[in-house]
Structure 1
């Protein structure tokens, strides 16, 4: 038993080594993201000022994004930051939780080994190919897949060793987990090669593939495994129905690398970075002051200000969690001081935080555009998100107003001097101007959406320097945090490529489409069914993986029925935005409750009327396309 445990000197050395490696990786991530900001700024300058577009910067940005995604994802496994669903694990006794922790770590370690193998296979098959502009060997670029695999495997091995060091007596549980994984792996290999499975695939390829794909992913989800790992393994096993598993494993490296090799994905880290800079420099406080000025004359003024501030801040961060944290953290102490109902305050903050996922610039809408191959343009989606975002926020404001009237809340502001009002507006104007510059620039054709995200970063940096809210240490932290968050999302996208490829390979979207149209060919009935599915999915799954899984399935169905791709994109994001505040996986609701200290059970009572009205808004958005499409059509998009 003692032989499996490191002595204190060895443990201390490994701890220091791990911390040293971690510092090097974070430095690499910060420098890589900073270089990408410089490159996108140069691209905009070269194209629109010097009138000499640079193809070198575009290629550099594409491959830097791939490296950022894989390296940051590998590091995120060390901090256990990847998305998962631990609900069932938390219900288990301590011994069961330990077993599942080991089992998931072993699964993730196995995937790391698969990445190393797939990355090496893609490197060796690339021959002597070079990139067109920078003339970098393709094998060198693709090596990042293998590097990420090594990082993932190493972090899981380190986690297992640290658990054994902390509690040596649990080593039999680890052995059990290893044996169970070996038995399951062997069973899958034998079953996949059996005559019975081959005949089933030959006779019913689409049905068997769909069952394997979704049952495998569901099992991974219920086990609490990282969602990205579940997506990748589900795709690999489904692909293994038509290829031998060794061949399926060898395709992982190239498929995942190509899944991120898209210039369009650059908008994600850049918009996240711009929002993080704005948040870190204290600009949220200015937005709340402005929101208070606008909503201060309405009963329940703090609640109205909370909604407006979340809508304004959401346009900068594009994150419901960021908005709920930044705005809720400022509103809650004031609300408690003024004796506001804190359960209602928490419900208002949680329900209004996701509005920024619809009101542009929205990362979710960017991801949808990229999944659809640009069929729905980013700027058209941006313009289409305004009205649904206002409907979602307006529903919260209406319920808060009714509640305030019924319980005798008075307006916080009765009159404001013109000079004071102008002062508040001018303080908030630079933050608000960011959205105006980006949207008007894209809409007017001055720059692309991707270049607009770079301009947002540069503008937010300039603003932070002007206000003096940024130093090198804080900037380094912001760069690292942005890289990690971006890496988690990008790795999800990369892993979902395996699932999307296997779905296409097995014609699963066509099969689902035929199933839905066999029930009804009325597009509104189909949309209603899709809404129900997405609402249920949103309760259990975070927005990013849900979009990556269900967009390729439902998109061909609805567009074949004549639904505009832009309209469907907004329906999809609206649905999943509701999911981030609904338990049991409502991350935004949990964050809001943790900030206010309120129990979820107490918050649900005032939250339900808000949710019901937001749900009514979803019905309006779904069945009255003009609500969504009015502004895009007004601008000829």
Structure 2
């Protein structure tokens, strides 16, 4: 895939002969990557879920609930396999435009993915039953409860009440079914992708005959990944992984230490700057918190810094990379909106808010350092040392310059820019001889796994989004929101409040995939710029990455520092206060987000 997208850029820009085969190959390669890696992630247990209830139950009851989730996922695997088999039979006569491959053959990946999911859950059931915590009687009881629930749903569908709700109040009823079902699966700790799929299936069943539901669901999931734009996601993840694992990103830490040394609490300031610089390469809050925090934390402990505050500063500044481009979150938003906000416009819009998020942490860190009497680093650096640090960091920084400059200069598109980023990072890694063949394989595999989790979520949420549109749910939500006020700023503040609460319980990717299709039509109808709204969503949900109980970045920062989450709450509060002020400024003053895109005519 990396070779194909690089060749697409070279053939068009150098030879002025764009190759049509690359687009078709990359489209279907992405779908196969997403579904095969998505299925594999069930084998290794990497899919996202919300285990709050499971963690509070006794070991025996937790095992029973895990039995339920395994059975639920197994049934989905069977449904997906059947849908894939039906698509294989139905579409063998249809052929692709360039390679003339039967579409049914390409759609057989659904059958493969479904079978992998089924096998993975059979293994999970076997391990649960032989692990001593769950019994065969528990399995039978769980299956009986699921069967009874299905029978009750079938009986309810024949009642007059059901027909009245479907015919007279479809939008409200569909809204309740969709979010009610998803909330139940979320609470039960089911994989979020599976919860999205079932919520969509149940809502679809309100209007579509049973014999058409499964083929429709399969086609919708498959088509949910059939977008050339999604390629940017795995490519930028891969580029960041290569830069990180090859040690090239570590050169940025020396630059961050150089920038932050003159400010009181210099290690905290260096941590923030390091996360902002590293975020431009990785686009991942977790990667930034682990890479930068892993280096800063031991030094801070050695120099007697307050460790809960050190961990809080690391956690709160790590999500800056979700806004500073190239950002996977902004790419996902652009694709969810169907290109309503261009990727490059979002990239340019993310700079100032991303820097604002980091500066908010730096101000808080400076105030806390002054309160504790911390001084700036003593002694200066020679001009030669400064130049050496900058020179060593320059190749890593050039990645962003090449990608953003190439896109703005029209050399390549934002999607092709992601492939160029991979090619550039590969060339640097080879020149510096910093990665072995084994390390390369590990990076490619890890990229496929991380991409698989997100792409499978996108595929399942695509069906949910299609179902929402089919049932006019966005219109219903829009009417509810505008019922409070038709002032776009008030509506934006209501949405921010909802997203802040959602971010406490849900990771960024599923939250964006669920709520963007709902809120986007509402705000655009009120005249809100799609780019401005994208920055608001990503900024708000980035804060959720640092809030328990599902604050993944917070967990990483705590595990690196060895501090308890409860000890981080006090130093996090002033940081959140300044970051919330930044969020309100972004909401009330759209120019903060839109000035740079407008400057470049985007």
Normalising by the smaller structure, the TM-score range is over 0.9
Give 1:243's aligned residue. Answer: 208
Give 1:382's aligned residue. Answer: 347
1:535 paired with 2:530, answer no
How far the C-alpha of 1:229 sits from its partner, in A, is 0.4
Supply the distance in 2 between the matched residues of 1:413 and 1:78 (Cα, whole angstroms): 53
Query: What root-mean-square deviation, in Å, do the aligned CA atoms of Structure 1 and Structure 2 show?
Result: 1.0
In the superposition, relative to structure 1, how do residues 268 and 45 fare at CA in structure 2: closer, same or farther (>3 Å)? Answer: same
Distance 1:168-1:628 versus aligned 2 partners, 3 A rule: closer
Q: SS where residue 260 of structure 1 aligns?
A: coil
Deviations 1:82-125 (A, max 9, x none): 00000111111112101100000000000000101111222222
User: Which among 372, 379, 390 is matched to residue 425 of structure 1?
Assistant: 390
Check if 1:594 corresponds to 2:559.
yes
**Equivalent residue, structure 2, for 1:138:** 103
Q: Given the alignment of the two structures, is residue 278 of structure 1 paired with residue 243 of structure 2, yes or no?
A: yes
Hey, what's the Cα distance between the residues in 1 that align with 2:549 and 2:131?
31
Identify the match of residue 376 of structure 2 among 404, 407, 411: 411
**Which residue matches 1:26?**
none
Establish whether residue 522 from structure 1 lines up as the match of residue 487 from structure 2: yes
Cα distance between partner residues in 2 of 1:626 and 1:254: 41
Question: Where in structure 2 are the equivalents of 1:361-376 lying within 5 Å?
Answer: 361-376=326-341
Which residue is 1:472 aligned to? 437
Q: How does 1:447-462 map to 2 (within 5 A)?
A: 447-462=412-427
CA contact (8 A) 1:120 1:253 kept: no
CA distance in 1, matches of 2:530, 2:177: 29
**1:496-549 deviation per Cα after TM superposition (whole angstroms, max 9, x unaligned):** 011111111110101111111121110011011001001001111111111111
Contact 1:285 1:330 in 2 (8 A): no
| 2:131 paired residue among 166, 170, 186 | 166
1:47 aligned onto 2:12: yes
Partner of 1:547: 512
Distance 1:439 1:422 in 2: 24
Partner residue of 2:268 out of 275, 288, 303: 303
Q: CA deviation at 1:414?
A: 3.3
Match of 2:465 in 1: 500
Aligned partners of 1:277, 1:245: CA distance in 2, in Å? Answer: 47
The 2-side partners of 1:611 and 1:73 are apart by 35
| Deviation at residue 283 of structure 1 after TM alignment | 2.2
Deviating above 3 A after TM superposition, structure 1's stretches of 4 or more consecutive aligned residues are none
Distance 2:157 2:209 in 1: 8
Shift of 1:179: 1.3
TM-score relative to the length of structure 1: 0.93
* Alpha-carbon distance in 2 for matches of 1:415, 1:357: 33
Q: CA deviation at 1:45?
A: 1.3
Mapped contact 2:63–2:133 kept (Cα < 8 A): no
Which residue of structure 2 lines up, in the alignment, with residue 200 of structure 1? 165
Structure 1 residue 127, shift from structure 2 partner: 4.3
Find 1:343's aligned residue among 282, 290, 308: 308
- Kindly state the Cα deviation for residue 47 of structure 1 after the two structures are TM-superposed: 1.1
Distance in 2 separating the partners of 1:529 and 1:402:
31
Q: How many residues align?
A: 602
| 1:58 corresponds to 2:20 | no
User: For residue 93 of structure 2, what is the aligned residue in structure 1?
Assistant: 128
2:117 to 140, 152, 158: 152
- Selected match of 1:564 from 511, 514, 529: 529
Superposition deviation, residue 244 in structure 1: 2.4
The yes-or-no answer on 1:509 pairing with 2:471 is no
In the alignment, the residues of structure 2 paired with residue 189 and residue 71 of structure 1 have an alpha-carbon distance, to the nearest angstrom, of 33
Q: How far off is 1:250 after superposition?
A: 2.0
- Normalising to structure 2: TM-score of the pair? 0.99
- The correspondence of residues 395-410 of structure 1 with structure 2, limited to 5 A, is 395-410=360-375
Q: CA deviation at 1:38?
A: 1.1
1:187 aligns with 2:184: no
CA contact (8 A) 2:504 2:549 kept: yes
2:59 and 2:133 in contact (8 A); partners too: no
SS in 1 for 2:95: coil
Paired residues of 2:488 and 2:523 also in contact (CA < 8 A): yes
Structure 2: gaps of 5 or more residues: none
Q: What is the DSSP-based 3-state SS (H/G/I as helix, E as strand, rest coil) of the residue aligned with 2:107?
A: helix
Quick one: distance in 1 between partners of 2:347 and 2:295? 28
Please report how far the alpha carbon of residue 169 of structure 1 lies from its aligned counterpart in structure 2 after TM superposition.
Answer: 6.3
Q: How far apart in 2 are the matches of 1:552 and 1:413?
A: 52
